[in-house]
Amino acid sequence: MSPIITAFERSPDGGKGLARDMRVRWALEEVGQPYEVRLVSFSAMKEPAHLALHPFGQIPTYEEGDLALFETGAIILHIAERHPGLLPKDANARARAIMWMFAALNTVEPPILDLAIALIVERGEPWAKDRLPLVMDRVRTRLSELSHCLGDAEWLDGAFSAGDLMMVSVLLRLRPSGLLDEFPNLAAYVARGEARPAYERAFAAQRAVFTVSSVG
Ligand code: GTB
């Protein structure tokens, strides 16, 4: 039985692949696991049926038999542990790949989310113009550290892993800000992720949802 994931019925990004179902789709495509998608509206996400799956009323969720998961970190780790392709066999390399997943979610993503909030939610506030440069600098600091770590390598630790999948997914959110282009090795790293056939299939699938919902 194929797992079922949830995604926005109508993603606010207009199908640019920035909503977090994209990273789950990408992981499933990388390991060759077919999946089904249940689309949910913003109001349905806050109703009891969805809240039973996701206590915070968000997407994505992941259902497989009697297992139900929320949180993209947990979902991708589950996929990576169940299927070959996203975690190395060597125990130490595996632990380091998981470390990079956590680094993406806990260390790199928070300032990026703060920037998204500053640009979208806080834009009209009288103090927004003063705060924005500080928020951007916090992102720059993380990018500079990550850029140093990556150096000229193709991926963060040897072969492509769930750590790279998560890191590229997190960095993609920065594209509209132009900050990524200040670090050419990171921009190239993200482009390598996007060029993977599994990423392209996942992107096309989420994009198709938006195209259909805009026409209908
Ligand atoms: N920590 C959770 C995880 O990683 O799974 C966070 C899940 C989450 O933030 N889900 C968002 C959601 O359901 C969608 S992805 N939001 C609705 C709500 O909270 O009521 C975040 C997102 C949304 C929109 C864009 N965009 O338009 O560019 C990008 C990312």
Residue nearest to atom 22 of ligand 1 (CA): 19
CATH number at residue 65: 3.40.30.10
Ligand 1 atom nearest to CA at 58: 13
**Per the domain annotation, does 56 fall within a domain?**
yes
* pLDDT single digits (tens) 139-152: 999 999 999 999 99
| Same domain (yes/no): 103, 181 | yes
**CB of 20 closer than 6 A to ligand 1?**
yes
**Interval 84-105: pLDDT, tens:** 999 999 999 999 999 999 999 9
pLDDT at 213: 67
Whole-structure pTM value:
0.96
* pLDDT at position 216 over 90: no
Question: 191 and 152 in one domain?
Answer: yes
Assess whether 76 and 104 both reside in one domain: no
Which band of pLDDT confidence, cut at 50, 70 and 90, is reported for residue 215? low
Residue 29 lies in a domain: yes
Distance 59 CA to ligand 1 centre (A): 6
Structural domain includes residue 214: no
pLDDT digits (tens, 9 = 90+) for 104-121: 999 999 999 999 999 999
Closest CA to 140 of 100, 113, 107, 180: 180
CA of 20 to the centre of ligand 1 (A): 6
Residues 106 and 190 in one domain: yes
Please report, rounded to a whole number, the percentage of residues in the chain having pLDDT higher than 90.
94
44 in contact with ligand 1, CB cutoff 6 A: no
Q: How many domains does the chain have?
A: 2
Query: Which residue is closest in CA terms to ligand 1's atom 27?
Result: 13
Q: Which protein residue has the closest C-alpha to ligand 1 atom 25?
A: 19
